[in-house]
Structure 1
Amino acid sequence: MRGDAVDFAGRTIPASLIRDLLTDQLDQRGLRISGAHLSGQLDLSDVAVARPVVLRDCTAERPVLLDRARFASLDLSGLVAPSLSAPWLRLDHYLLVQDARLTSEDGWALDLAEADVGGHVSLRGSRLSGVEHALHAPKLRTGSQLHLAEVRADGTVFLDGARLGGNLRCDGATFTATGVALLGVDMQVEDNVYLRRGFRARTGSDRLAAVRIRGSRIGGQLVLRDCRLTGQRALDVKHVKTGKEILLSPEALDGGVELDGLTYVGVPRDASVDEWLDLLATRTPTYASQPYLQLAAAHQAAGNERDVRRTRIAQQRDLIRRGRLTRWGRLWHRVTGATVGYGYRPALALVWLVGTLLAAVVLVAAVAGPAGLVRSCSTVEQVGHALNAVTPLAKPEGVKCQVLTTTGLGRFVVVSTWVLQLLAWAFATLFVAGFTGLVRKTT
């Protein structure tokens, strides 16, 4: 058994024999055993051997203990055991726990807290079931990728503070928990985070998100494609920073989403601008300006000016609906929205100005004129008088027309022209302010 691979084909050997072999003089090729049934408890805690250890397709009656152990590499693929405890494990190369079956009735199925692996970690195809955590790996460090593809986890996959030197791959995995299904607050992932190809995460909590990676730093892409996140809150990526694009389809989210503080490079993919704006307005718990500003900045960098305006207008509408505004602040936003599109459509003020002038013409030429209330004026002069009365320009000399105020209708027309003049001045001012950006809001 020293160096050569030995297949026990299901025969039972004492678990203590493994420790004896590792602490005895060991071949350079390490220890390689497969198909063994281990009686008793396999306890390799504090064992330090600079050799590879392979225990494939083995079955253990009791939890396997690897606390503070150190090996060149470790392959426990196919392991069937109540649990695997390996906090502070140190490996020079890789850790394989593929197609394993770990079911704990009183703790964590797999504990890799503060483990340090020089290469990659692969749990591909494993079935993990824990009372609280299926995988407990806070501050796990890897030199390369963490493979969780096709893992079935009943309990939280806990990766808070992990430092991964490559990708986090969860392709085809299914995580289910009463709390957060995938919890990775303050992770650092050098490359991409892949939640795709049938990935499923479900939480039974009304408060916690199915996937919560708040505050994480991702060097590459955040990919949520062909996946399903289910819960009252499906996804929490607050204050996550990615070095490249984010690929997220709103259809992947069966629940709300936390996006405040999320930053990314480029325009979000897998969703149209309309879908993103609907996501921000209807699927986020509260109003926040940053997601809108980030989206607008992405389209600004891409040269999509039309989408920039749409995004900023949508932000202001959401601010009115859910933001913390005073009554007067809300009224002002409604006015600027209707008149200049919150400063992003100043031409609207010109439309209102033209409408004001037309209203004045109707009052003077179509109401006061036929009623005989305009003295010594032709129809053309009446139109000129109406425009002169309300337009925000200097008044010319020698005005001939005058509206008689001896009747109630005459007084109404005159007072109405005063009101229209104020409105005309207001619309002209709003146009100038909107054109120069004075009423644009970034709150």
Structure 2
Amino acid sequence: MSEINDLTPAEARVWRAFPRGEAVDFRTAEDEDASPGDGWGPERTVRASVLRALLLRAPREEGEVAALKVAGARITGVLDLRYATVDSVVRLSSCRFDDTPDLSGAHLSYLNLTDSVLPGLASARARVDGSLRLTGCRFRGPVRLGGAHITGALFLEGAELTAPDGPQPVLQLKHVTVEDEICATGLRTHGEIRLDSATIAGSVNLDGARLHHPGHAVLDAQTLVVEGDVLMRRVHAVGWIGLGGARVAGRLDLSHTRLSNPGDAALRASGCTVGELWLRGDASLEGRLNLRRAQIDVLFLEAEAVPDEVLLNSLVYSTLIPHEPAERRLPMLERDREGYVPHAYEQLTAAYRRIGDDLAARLVQLAKQRRHRSTLPWYGRVWGHLQDATVGYGFRPLRACVWLLSLLAVGSIAYGLHHPPPLKPSEAPQFNPVFYTLDLLLPVISFGQEGAFAPRGGYQTLSYVLIITGWILATTVLAGVSRSVSRQ
């Protein structure tokens, strides 16, 4: 073992401390920045090959727990632990790595790289029996954890990840399994986070993160499974977030978050299943909101957070909060990129009915009929305008009463001043202008007046107008009542 024979003084300190689990701190101050570590001299430089030999072959002391605890060191060479089994705690905090550590397929008990500076990290298919702590790390290349299995938590608080432009994600977590949580508050990334097909037993916390990848995905988490919450409060993301087909058992919280992907979708959550989706506070989306085929138990959506374009076809939600007037909610449906989407109106109607706001439900249904009218040919639009003006498509029945009373008054006065002559004077009943007008207005019902008298000239024309108008009013009222009953 050549590493034992030619150790530098710094390496000898680390070698002696390892069997007893003692910490070796090369820092000049606790808050020392590792960024200028490439200029550190041999007094705080350790070869990666020495660390590998320690972890895999160094002798242990009986009664002591061996652990690699080093702070403030410059580590040269590649720390190659591919497919190795390391049963000791590894803590290399505030260190400067000249080369990317390769831990692919390794089996580790615990790994802590807090506040270190690295050109990247290769840990695909690795297994960590404890937690993986990358808090405050600065990566200048991609971090690959695809297929990794972490029985504890993954910590990325305050970490910064930057990768050269290219197809590779800056943080690869595809198919990763985390049996606790992912804590990445204050994360900074310049590139894509790939979290698709991952399984997280706890929550994912990205509160306060700054994600930058203009025109591309900043977070691709399709088919992600999270048993807890996904917290993305006060996040500022330039690029799009993809949650298509994801399943979040708890809350997907985007409160006070700003997503920017102009000209395309900013939040792509089609087909996802979420316990609660929160878009509230001063949350804003510059770009489309895609919730097609999503299933959400509680949708907390403030009107101000709805972008100019949405995709809501087949979106299903049980509860919509906060409770707002229908006039505040309807513009959201009118912004649907697919145009008239009947299902979106039915969902909003059902949400109002579940809380007993029948007036708002009727207003939504009226808006639905008006929107549908714009899709009809000209004759359908004419008929629609007529139904709207007369009885509000049946959702405003009092308007029909006003029309009927007005026509009844007109007819009663006109025929009261000029009685139409009877067809058979000897058999005709006594003329009554009110019931004669009612006979003309109301189809089916007969008071025996219409068939006994025959108006002439302009009064005959008036009778035709009353008959036609009566049929129109009766038809529209009947259609409206039928729609209301069927919705019930």
TM-score when normalising by structure 1: 0.83
In the other structure, the counterpart of 2:104 is 67
In the other structure, the counterpart of 1:436 is 485
Give the Cα separation in 1 of the matches to 2:128 and 2:103: 11
Equivalent residue of 1:421, what SS? helix
Change (3 A) 1:26 1:74: farther
What is the correspondence of 1:247-262 to structure 2 with a 5 Å cutoff?
A: 247-249=278-280, 251-262=283-294
Offset, 1:135: 1.1
Offset, 1:287: 4.8
Contact 1:87 1:115 in 2 (8 A): yes
Change (3 A) 1:21 1:200: same
Contact 2:255 2:283 in 1 (8 A): no
Greater RCO between the two (CA within 8 Å, min separation 6)?
1
Asked if 1:191 is matched to 2:223, the reply is no
Give the Cα separation in 1 of the matches to 2:352 and 2:100: 53
Asked if 1:6 is matched to 2:5, the reply is no
Tell me which amino acid in the other structure corresponds to 1:161: S
Contact 1:173 1:199 in 2 (8 A): yes
In the other structure, the counterpart of 2:213 is 177
Asked if 1:116 is matched to 2:149, the reply is yes
In the TM superposition, what whole-angstrom CA distance separates every residue of 1:151-210 from its partner, at most 9, and x where no partner exists?
1111111111111111111110011113011111011111111110x211112xxxxxx2
Asked if 1:392 is matched to 2:443, the reply is yes
Give the Cα separation in 2 of the matches to 1:284 and 1:110: 37
What is the correspondence of 1:149-188 to structure 2 with a 5 Å cutoff?
A: 149-178=185-214, 179-188=216-225
In the TM superposition, what whole-angstrom CA distance separates every residue of 1:347-375 from its partner, at most 9, and x where no partner exists?
x245225414522542x3455665x4734
In the other structure, the counterpart of 1:219 is 249
In the other structure, the counterpart of 1:101 is 138
Give the Cα separation in 1 of the matches to 2:436 and 2:229: 69
Equivalent residue of 2:331, what SS? helix
In the TM superposition, what whole-angstrom CA distance separates every residue of 1:54-112 from its partner, at most 9, and x where no partner exists?
111111122221111110111111121221111111001101111111122xxxx2111
Asked if 1:279 is matched to 2:294, the reply is no
In the other structure, the counterpart of 2:91 is 54
In the other structure, the counterpart of 1:374 is 420
Give the Cα separation in 2 of the matches to 1:331 and 1:214: 42
Contact 1:267 1:298 in 2 (8 A): no
In the TM superposition, what whole-angstrom CA distance separates every residue of 1:394-426 from its partner, at most 9, and x where no partner exists?
312366973532x3x234223213312322431
Offset, 1:24: 1.0
In the other structure, the counterpart of 1:421 is 470
In the TM superposition, what whole-angstrom CA distance separates every residue of 1:116-167 from its partner, at most 9, and x where no partner exists?
1001101110111123422111111101111121111111111111111111
Contact 1:64 1:84 in 2 (8 A): yes
Give the Cα separation in 1 of the matches to 2:236 and 2:58: 46
Asked if 1:42 is matched to 2:79, the reply is yes
1:33 to 57, 67, 70: 70
Give the Cα separation in 2 of the matches to 1:375 and 1:231: 76
Tell me which amino acid in the other structure corresponds to 2:125: W
Contact 1:356 1:423 in 2 (8 A): no
Offset, 1:46: 1.4
Contact 1:186 1:214 in 2 (8 A): yes
Change (3 A) 1:428 1:333: closer
Equivalent residue of 1:38, what SS? strand
Contact 1:385 1:401 in 2 (8 A): no
Looking at CA atoms only, which structure, 1 or 2, has the larger radius of gyration?
Answer: 2
Identical residues among aligned pairs (%): 25
Offset, 1:291: 4.8
Tell me which amino acid in the other structure corresponds to 1:15: A
Give the Cα separation in 2 of the matches to 1:374 and 1:26: 121
Asked if 1:383 is matched to 2:434, the reply is yes
In the other structure, the counterpart of 1:202 is 238
Tell me which amino acid in the other structure corresponds to 2:47: P
Contact 2:55 2:88 in 1 (8 A): no
In the TM superposition, what whole-angstrom CA distance separates every residue of 1:252-295 from its partner, at most 9, and x where no partner exists?
22222011222222452555445544334326555545555555
Equivalent residue of 2:475, what SS? helix
Asked if 1:359 is matched to 2:407, the reply is yes
In the other structure, the counterpart of 1:138 is 174
Unaligned stretches of 5+ in structure 1? 204-209
Unaligned stretches of 5+ in structure 2? 1-13, 28-39, 304-321, 423-427
Give the Cα separation in 2 of the matches to 1:338 and 1:251: 39
Change (3 A) 1:118 1:336: farther
Give the Cα separation in 2 of the matches to 1:276 and 1:392: 39
Change (3 A) 1:139 1:307: farther
Equivalent residue of 1:21, what SS? helix
More off after superposition, 137-146 vs 13-22: 13-22
C-alpha RMSD of the superposition? 3.2
Give the Cα separation in 1 of the matches to 2:67 and 2:329: 54
Equivalent residue of 2:287, what SS? strand
TM-score when normalising by structure 2: 0.76
Asked if 1:82 is matched to 2:100, the reply is no
In the other structure, the counterpart of 1:206 is none
In the other structure, the counterpart of 2:34 is none
Equivalent residue of 1:172, what SS? coil
In the other structure, the counterpart of 2:267 is 235
Change (3 A) 1:292 1:354: closer
Contact 2:400 2:477 in 1 (8 A): no
Change (3 A) 1:337 1:366: closer
In the other structure, the counterpart of 1:207 is none
Give the Cα separation in 1 of the matches to 2:274 and 2:156: 25
Contact 1:259 1:291 in 2 (8 A): no
Tell me which amino acid in the other structure corresponds to 1:278: P
